[in-house]
Protein backbone atom coordinates (compact mmCIF):
# COMPACT_ATOMS: atom_id res chain seq x y z
CA UNK A 1 0.00 0.00 0.00
CA UNK A 2 1.05 3.54 -0.62
CA UNK A 3 0.43 6.59 1.58
CA UNK A 4 -0.84 8.38 -1.54
CA UNK A 5 -3.86 6.06 -1.51
CA UNK A 6 -4.89 7.62 1.82
CA UNK A 7 -4.67 11.08 0.21
CA UNK A 8 -6.83 9.79 -2.63
CA UNK A 9 -9.57 8.69 -0.19
CA UNK A 10 -9.43 12.01 1.72
CA UNK A 11 -10.07 13.87 -1.54
CA UNK A 12 -12.46 11.33 -3.11
CA UNK A 13 -14.71 11.17 -0.02
CA UNK A 14 -14.33 14.91 0.72
CA UNK A 15 -13.07 14.18 4.24
CA UNK A 16 -12.39 17.11 6.58
CA UNK A 17 -10.06 17.37 9.61
CA UNK A 18 -11.64 15.98 12.80
CA UNK A 19 -11.04 17.68 16.19
CA UNK A 20 -9.84 14.36 17.69
CA UNK A 21 -7.35 13.81 14.83
CA UNK A 22 -7.71 12.22 11.42
CA UNK A 23 -10.32 13.06 8.79
CA UNK A 24 -14.06 12.44 8.61
CA UNK A 25 -17.32 13.08 6.81
CA UNK A 26 -20.80 12.44 8.13
CA UNK A 27 -22.59 10.27 5.56
CA UNK A 28 -25.84 9.44 7.36
CA UNK A 29 -28.06 11.02 10.01
CA UNK A 30 -31.27 9.13 10.74
CA UNK A 31 -34.53 11.04 10.64
CA UNK A 32 -35.99 8.61 13.18
CA UNK A 33 -36.41 10.45 16.51
CA UNK A 34 -35.43 8.70 19.76
CA UNK A 35 -34.57 9.62 23.31
CA UNK A 36 -32.50 7.84 25.91
CA UNK A 37 -34.32 6.20 28.78
CA UNK A 38 -34.95 8.78 31.49
CA UNK A 39 -34.16 11.74 29.20
CA UNK A 40 -36.52 14.08 27.42
CA UNK A 41 -34.14 15.33 24.71
CA UNK A 42 -35.05 13.99 21.26
CA UNK A 43 -32.19 13.03 18.96
CA UNK A 44 -31.60 11.01 15.80
CA UNK A 45 -31.56 7.23 16.18
CA UNK A 46 -28.18 6.82 14.46
CA UNK A 47 -25.39 8.65 12.65
CA UNK A 48 -22.55 7.35 10.50
CA UNK A 49 -19.23 8.78 9.33
CA UNK A 50 -16.26 7.78 7.23
CA UNK A 51 -13.08 8.21 9.29
CA UNK A 52 -9.50 8.03 8.06
CA UNK A 53 -6.21 8.06 9.94
CA UNK A 54 -2.83 8.20 8.23
CA UNK A 55 0.75 7.78 9.37
CA UNK A 56 1.52 8.78 12.95
CA UNK A 57 -1.78 10.67 13.41
CA UNK A 58 -4.19 9.28 16.00
CA UNK A 59 -7.64 9.78 17.43
CA UNK A 60 -7.00 11.41 20.81
CA UNK A 61 -8.59 9.86 23.90
CA UNK A 62 -12.20 11.01 24.11
CA UNK A 63 -15.63 9.75 25.09
CA UNK A 64 -19.18 10.15 23.88
CA UNK A 65 -22.58 9.43 25.41
CA UNK A 66 -23.61 6.78 22.87
CA UNK A 67 -22.41 3.38 21.71
CA UNK A 68 -20.07 3.51 18.71
CA UNK A 69 -19.54 0.72 16.18
CA UNK A 70 -16.38 0.80 14.07
CA UNK A 71 -16.16 -1.01 10.69
CA UNK A 72 -12.93 -1.64 8.77
CA UNK A 73 -12.85 -0.80 5.04
CA UNK A 74 -9.31 -0.32 3.71
CA UNK A 75 -5.70 0.09 4.72
CA UNK A 76 -3.53 -1.18 7.54
CA UNK A 77 -4.67 -2.45 10.96
CA UNK A 78 -6.02 0.07 13.46
CA UNK A 79 -5.74 -0.35 17.23
CA UNK A 80 -8.60 0.88 19.42
CA UNK A 81 -7.73 1.35 23.10
CA UNK A 82 -10.40 1.90 25.76
CA UNK A 83 -10.57 2.38 29.52
CA UNK A 84 -13.77 1.74 31.45
CA UNK A 85 -14.98 3.54 34.59
CA UNK A 86 -13.27 0.92 36.80
CA UNK A 87 -9.91 1.47 35.10
CA UNK A 88 -9.95 -1.74 33.06
CA UNK A 89 -7.96 -1.39 29.83
CA UNK A 90 -8.94 -3.02 26.53
CA UNK A 91 -7.20 -3.11 23.15
CA UNK A 92 -8.81 -4.25 19.90
CA UNK A 93 -7.40 -4.63 16.40
CA UNK A 94 -9.71 -3.42 13.64
CA UNK A 95 -8.51 -5.02 10.40
CA UNK A 96 -9.05 -7.70 7.79
CA UNK A 97 -6.09 -9.68 9.19
CA UNK A 98 -6.59 -13.01 10.99
CA UNK A 99 -5.52 -11.29 14.24
CA UNK A 100 -8.17 -8.58 13.89
CA UNK A 101 -11.89 -8.05 13.61
CA UNK A 102 -13.84 -6.29 10.87
CA UNK A 103 -15.94 -4.51 13.51
CA UNK A 104 -15.45 -3.29 17.06
CA UNK A 105 -18.05 -1.89 19.48
CA UNK A 106 -17.14 0.82 21.99
CA UNK A 107 -19.69 1.23 24.77
CA UNK A 108 -21.11 4.63 25.65
CA UNK A 109 -19.11 6.60 28.21
CA UNK A 110 -15.79 4.75 27.82
CA UNK A 111 -12.60 6.71 27.21
CA UNK A 112 -11.15 5.51 23.91
CA UNK A 113 -8.60 6.29 21.22
CA UNK A 114 -7.39 4.84 17.93
CA UNK A 115 -3.98 4.63 16.29
CA UNK A 116 -2.16 2.99 13.42
CA UNK A 117 0.49 0.84 15.16
CA UNK A 118 2.79 0.80 12.11
CA UNK A 119 2.73 4.65 12.00
CA UNK A 120 2.64 4.33 8.22
CA UNK A 121 0.07 4.09 5.46
CA UNK A 122 -3.60 4.78 6.27
CA UNK A 123 -6.78 3.19 7.61
CA UNK A 124 -10.30 3.94 6.34
CA UNK A 125 -13.20 2.94 8.59
CA UNK A 126 -16.83 3.80 9.23
CA UNK A 127 -18.17 4.73 12.66
CA UNK A 128 -21.85 4.36 13.48
CA UNK A 129 -23.17 5.99 16.65
CA UNK A 130 -26.52 5.16 18.27
CA UNK A 131 -28.30 7.20 19.48
CA UNK A 132 -26.89 9.65 16.97
CA UNK A 133 -23.68 11.60 17.56
CA UNK A 134 -23.81 15.21 18.72
CA UNK A 135 -20.65 17.28 19.21
CA UNK A 136 -22.23 18.66 22.40
CA UNK A 137 -21.72 15.18 23.94
CA UNK A 138 -18.14 14.80 22.68
CA UNK A 139 -15.49 15.16 25.40
CA UNK A 140 -11.77 15.25 24.64
CA UNK A 141 -9.70 13.80 27.47
CA UNK A 142 -7.51 15.96 29.66
CA UNK A 143 -4.22 14.05 29.95
CA UNK A 144 -3.52 15.17 33.51
CA UNK A 145 -7.01 14.31 34.78
CA UNK A 146 -7.02 10.85 33.20
CA UNK A 147 -3.48 10.08 34.32
CA UNK A 148 -4.45 10.90 37.92
CA UNK A 149 -7.60 8.77 37.62
CA UNK A 150 -5.84 5.85 35.87
CA UNK A 151 -2.11 6.00 36.75
CA UNK A 152 -1.70 2.35 35.77
CA UNK A 153 -2.34 3.40 32.14
CA UNK A 154 -0.02 6.44 32.10
CA UNK A 155 2.01 5.10 29.15
CA UNK A 156 -0.93 4.85 26.75
CA UNK A 157 -2.52 8.06 28.07
CA UNK A 158 0.71 10.05 27.61
CA UNK A 159 1.08 8.66 24.10
CA UNK A 160 -2.53 9.09 22.89
CA UNK A 161 -4.04 12.11 24.67
CA UNK A 162 -4.01 15.40 22.76
What's the average model confidence in pLDDT over 9-32?
Answer: 98
* Residue numbers of the domain that contains 133: 3-160
Query: For 34-43, how does the pLDDT look when each residue is reduced to its tens digit (9 = 90+)?
Result: 988 888 889 9
Query: For 88-142, how does the pLDDT look when each residue is reduced to its tens digit (9 = 90+)?
Result: 999 999 999 999 999 999 999 999 999 999 998 999 999 999 999 999 999 999 9
User: Total domain count for the chain?
Assistant: 1
pTM: 0.94
CATH number, domain of 153, equals 2.60.120.10
- Which helix (H) or strand (E) element contains residue 146? helix 143-149
Q: How far is CA 123 from the centre of its chain?
A: 12
Of the chain, the end-to-end C-alpha distance in Å amounts to 28
Amino acid sequence: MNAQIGKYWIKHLDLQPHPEGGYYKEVFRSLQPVNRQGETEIRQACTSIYYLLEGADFSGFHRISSDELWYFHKGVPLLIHSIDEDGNYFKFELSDCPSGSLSVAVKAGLWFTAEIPSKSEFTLVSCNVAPGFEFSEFEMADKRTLTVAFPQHADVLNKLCR
